[in-house]
Structure 1
Amino acid sequence: MRITQVEVIPVKIPPEEIYLGGSKEGPTYYYRPGWRCVYSRMMETVFVKITAEDGTTGWGEALAPVAPEVTAGIIRSLFTPLLVGADPLATEVLNTRMYDAMRERGHVQGFFIDAIAGVDIALWDLKGRLLGLPVHRLLGGPYARRLPCYVSGLPRPTDAERAELAREWAARGFHRVKLAIGTTIQEDLRTVEAVRDALGEGGTVFVDAHWHYTLPEAMRFGRALEALGVGFLEAPMLPENLDAHAELARQLDIAIAIGEGERTRYQFKEILVRGAADILQPDVGRTGISELKKIAGMAEAWNVPVAPHLSVGQGVMIAATLQVAAAIPNLFILEYQPNPFNLANQFLAKPLVCEDGFMYLPEGPGLGVELDEERIRHHAVQA
């Protein structure tokens, strides 16, 4: 059996609500005041479709919240010649060959590795479909089919509105919420306290600071969060400064969570060796399935739990996250983004399920999801 075709489909989908509550007006890409990253007013991603000679297809998805055409172009131009004619079951060999091919091209970060991740997910889906097995069984799992999650982000402009939204989620069985913050320590603490009080007894607040603070600020903020019973502090400082994160983790009792922007086991190894995090947050849309499983296994040796990052990924990426998460013993919790999740389900034949604070593992061969290909191609853009 050989691979006969590789198709890449970059898409831009108009969402009902802008990610993190941004405005719908203005250019597609914009910069939010006080936030470091560039954002898109569209829901952008890259789908990868790999076909074997018997007609079986596997789908992958690379995290591409901006400029999906770039990731698509890398796959189409650089990886397709390597993949066509190859054994579709050789996921590890092909992953290594793609990574080796990029060693002189900035191979440790960015669009190149994202492109590998999208292909890798498609290869695992294809392998599962050819063998008639779900990916979690190919990975040795599952440890569970019902996976705990937290609601990520309360996209409302005021603390009162965020608190009300938190109460609504709690009434639906979601008692764990992550806040996206990063203004001043005083303002952020007021937001955390308002949401904590809204969740009530038994609720848990996690905090994502989006790399906003310096080390002294993060120390002060972290100690205040400890007093409020916050579950973890995510991305408190710039990710390049692992020494500062290690010092923060040593000084504070609150768990420090980082890793959403890292892509390889080599980067996560440095985090673990330096003791720079209590929780790792790899994103399957940046690592792929093969690498995420290795990262989780390495973290297990340090007794560090894994809480996979999952932001604007669509159905394939969500399903891939669930398949790997079910197959690792050190899973802590999953990220649930309601708006991207609901949008993703509009492009699936059978929707993914998230209820009462848990995400449910899809069954069936491969990733366990079937895409509405016609609807996806309707939103395709030129690479």
Structure 2
Amino acid sequence: MTLDSHFISRVERSTIRSRYPRTIGRNARLGSHGDGGVDDVVILHTDTGKSGWGLAAGPVPDDVVGRSVGELIDPATGVREAGLRGLDFALHDLAGHLLDLPVHALLGGKGTRTIPIYDGAVYFADLDADGVDAVLADCAADDAAGYRAFKLKIGRGNRWMERAEGDARDIEVTRAVRAAYPEHRILVDANDGYDCDGFIEYLKAVADCDLYWVEEPFLDDAADLARLKKHLQGSPTLIAEGESDPDLEPLLEIAADGDIDVLLMDVVSFGLTSWREVMPRVSCQASPHAWGVPLKTLYAAQMAAGLGNVPTVEGVPGTTDGVDTSAYEWKDGNLTVPDRPGFGLTLT
């Protein structure tokens, strides 16, 4: 029985509640990120009694009832129409269930099922209590939860502190975390909170901290990224870009020039189908932004296992009410995606 033999009988809308293990504070641009949030999901039911569900990746169309699943999604490429992008994850999940394949197999199985995960929840806790010790306490909690890589938010001088004071605090935090965790990977994310000159000065001050990557150091600019890449010549530190309102074609050109090492478009808002389309054109590595919703980490891990060329995935510590995620194995900083059909996630 092919996908053309199954027809959408009902589209159900619902929400899920994510819960972080603590209140997540400020970054270079935004205030407190709170303790979780509520997100829209869509559940697709077929006339054959099958269903698939996922986060709504955009507006959910009302005209899919009565259409065959094969008319909506090509298992080899993704959703067939731009107007279906809101159903991207639900349709991939449904196709996996109908074909008895995990999503990573639908995507080609080009990566490995076990993927290193970094902790994306280390924000500006020092600004609200206990100074640098508060950041170290967050790292300790996440280390105890199994993380072996930390992405540190920097850019305090962009909004919350005087520039020189904020830059000095960024340096202090980076060096303190490196001293406390000499074997862990450290990544830093400035959320465009620096200019090129200031960021290069920051890098000089933490040159011995062995940063794995630097993310969104300043607003996208080809000349500045080329200058940053030149500064990092001879260093293994990667430049990661493309999360914030990406203008895709210029980013791909900069990556082709060798001045971006990792592209970061969000796994949900950019979309799984879009990643499937763009990955053959990517001349560097990829690691889709996943912050905000723990389920996005699982989606990104499926993408990594399916499309390959993803060195690590952003971890969103926390839980999701009403979703059984137990098929995903978490051990010592690595996540193993299941071989269950679809995304291997069950609504309870």
> What's the TM-score, normalizing by structure 1?
0.74
In structure 2, the residue matched to 1:9 is 14
Q: Name the CA distance, whole Å, in 1 between partners of 2:242 and 2:177.
A: 25
Q: Name the CA distance, whole Å, in 2 between partners of 1:365 and 1:348.
A: 14
Provide structure 1 residue ranges, at least 5 long, that are not aligned to the other structure. Answer: 22-31, 64-70, 102-114, 373-383
Q: Does 2:332 correspond to 1:356?
A: yes
Q: Does 2:29 correspond to 1:35?
A: yes
Q: Name the CA distance, whole Å, in 2 between partners of 1:354 and 1:269.
A: 33
Q: Equivalences for 1:57-72 in 2 at 5 Å?
A: 57-62=51-56, 71=58
In structure 2, the residue matched to 1:305 is 285
* Structure ranking higher in helix proportion: 1
Could you give the per-residue CA deviations for residues 338-383 of structure 1, whole angstroms, max 9, x where no partner exists?
13xxx227522636332201011022111111112xxxxxxxxxxx
Q: Does 2:183 correspond to 1:198?
A: no
Query: Which of 225, 233, 236 is equivalent to 2:214?
Result: 233
Q: CA distance change for structure 1 residues 216 and 265 in 2, over 3 Å: closer, same or farther?
A: closer
Query: Which of 261, 265, 276 is equivalent to 1:293?
Result: 276
Q: What amino acid is aligned across from residue 47 of structure 2 in structure 1?
A: E
Q: Name the CA distance, whole Å, in 1 between partners of 2:305 and 2:258.
A: 25
Q: Name the CA distance, whole Å, in 2 between partners of 1:264 and 1:138.
A: 28
Shift of 1:312: 1.7
Q: Does 2:191 correspond to 1:186?
A: no
Contact 2:16 2:322 in 1 (8 A): no
Q: Name the CA distance, whole Å, in 2 between partners of 1:320 and 1:172.
A: 20
Q: Name the CA distance, whole Å, in 1 between partners of 2:194 and 2:275.
A: 28
Q: Secondary structure at the match of 2:292?
A: coil
In structure 2, the residue matched to 1:66 is none
Contact 1:145 1:361 in 2 (8 A): yes
Shift of 1:128: 0.7
In structure 1, the residue matched to 2:44 is 50
In structure 2, the residue matched to 1:108 is none
Contact 2:294 2:316 in 1 (8 A): no
In structure 2, the residue matched to 1:104 is none
Query: Which of 278, 290, 293 is equivalent to 2:261?
Result: 278
Q: CA distance change for structure 1 residues 166 and 313 in 2, over 3 Å: closer, same or farther?
A: closer
* Structure ranking higher in strand proportion: 2
Shift of 1:263: 6.4
Q: CA distance change for structure 1 residues 266 and 88 in 2, over 3 Å: closer, same or farther?
A: farther
Shift of 1:146: 1.5
Query: Which of 95, 114, 119 is equivalent to 2:79?
Result: 95
Contact 2:297 2:315 in 1 (8 A): no
Contact 2:200 2:228 in 1 (8 A): yes
In structure 1, the residue matched to 2:323 is 347
Q: What amino acid is aligned across from residue 328 of structure 1 in structure 2?
A: L
Q: What amino acid is aligned across from residue 11 of structure 2 in structure 1?
A: V
After superposition, the CA RMSD in angstroms is 2.9
Shift of 1:97: 2.1
Q: CA distance change for structure 1 residues 95 and 171 in 2, over 3 Å: closer, same or farther?
A: closer
In structure 2, the residue matched to 1:143 is 111
Kindly tell me the number of residue pairs found equivalent between the two proteins.
323
Could you give the per-residue CA deviations for residues 302-327 of structure 1, whole angstroms, max 9, x where no partner exists?
2x122222212243x33322221112
Could you give the per-residue CA deviations for residues 146-202 of structure 1, whole angstroms, max 9, x where no partner exists?
1111122335433123234435555665332111121122110100000000002x2
Shift of 1:268: 4.6
In structure 2, the residue matched to 1:321 is 300
Give runs of ≥4 in structure 1 deviating > 6 Å: none
Identity between Structure 1 and Structure 2 (%): 25
Contact 2:113 2:336 in 1 (8 A): yes
Q: Secondary structure at the match of 2:104?
A: helix
Contact 1:3 1:88 in 2 (8 A): yes
